[in-house]
Amino acid sequence: MSYFDVNNITVAFGGVRALNDVSFSVNQNEIFTIIGPNGAGKSTLFNVISRIYQPNNGNVVFDGKDVLNLKAHQISQIGIARTFQNIELFEQASVLQNLLVARQTHRRSNPVSEILFSQFVKKEEYRHRLEVEKVIDFLDLQAYRQKFISGLPYGVRKVVELGRALSIEPKLLLLDEPASGLSVEETQDVAFWIEDIKKVMGITVLMVEHDMHLVTSVSDRVMALADGKKLAMGSPEEVKNHPAVIEAYLGVSEENEK
Ligand code: ADP
Ligand code: MG
């Protein structure tokens, strides 16, 4: 058993098999990336892991825990956080507030203890604040901490979305297209952060990404999906040059151009 195991996952939407018997394992402190043309099943896979979709078959085990037995809100409690391709933040709240809200799942206190042990609660609040400030420093968000999300440029929102996931102090971080819509320079920043998330924070990363330059520069291993099936797995170079992968991309090359 590895740190994170996805075993024989099948998801069918009516007649469409979005995922067809997909299995892979991620080692602790690895950056594992999933690539594949549009419609390959990448987001569906993330939605299975984060308990939004119930698969027809298969199981998911993280750190010895059966993930499919949990509810969506319990995922962060076992140390899994994700970012969304379409950014999901509270628009009418500040960066700081968004990151603090993300930590709600980490609250150990309950309403009764809040009244009985206010000293303890103060300590907890202080710890939340400290943790969030660490993330703000790490991602260079100081200039934006009191700014509302609604007024921020896309590139900054994308970073806040990453910060929201990091605030949870995850052990496994799922990144759904962290570089989509970003400039070359912004993508470079994302590459540095992903490397530090692994090296400095010791977090294991499972990423879906189209930008092959980013994929090649940060990934330890890559898996290619197409039509819900695993095509290839190995080092970034091995997968990029795999004939089945080249063919899958050629078939839809126009659709995938950015
Ligand atoms: P990717 O993220 O790799 O682009 P998706 O996982 O979004 O691909 O989609 C895989 C396939 O499953 C596609 O054919 C898509 O149309 C289908 N699909 C995804 N989600 C749903 C859904 N909620 N209902 C019906 N079909 C879906
Ligand atoms: Mg997708």
pLDDT 10s digits, 12-47 = 999 899 999 999 999 999 999 999 999 999 999 999
Q: Cβ < 6 Å from ligand 1: which residues?
A: 13, 16, 18, 36, 38-44
Q: Whose CA is nearest to atom 20 of ligand 1?
A: 44
Average pLDDT of the segment spanning 116-131: 79
Q: What is the pLDDT of residue 223?
A: 98
Q: Tell me the per-residue pLDDT of 72-86, one tens digit each, with 9 for 90 and over.
A: 888 999 999 999 877
23 close to 7: Cβ distance less than 8 angstroms:
yes
pTM: 0.90
Q: What percent of the chain has pLDDT over 90?
A: 81
Q: If DSSP codes are grouped into helix, strand and coil, which group holds residue 1?
A: coil
How many angstroms separate the first and last alpha carbons of the chain? 38
Which of the listed residues 16, 42, 176, 180 should we mutate to test ligand 1's pocket, taking the one with most ligand atoms within 8 A of CB?
16
Signed CA dihedral, 90, 38, 42, 247: sign only:
negative
Mean pLDDT of 163-180: 96
> Which residue CA neighbors atom 18 of ligand 1 most closely?
18
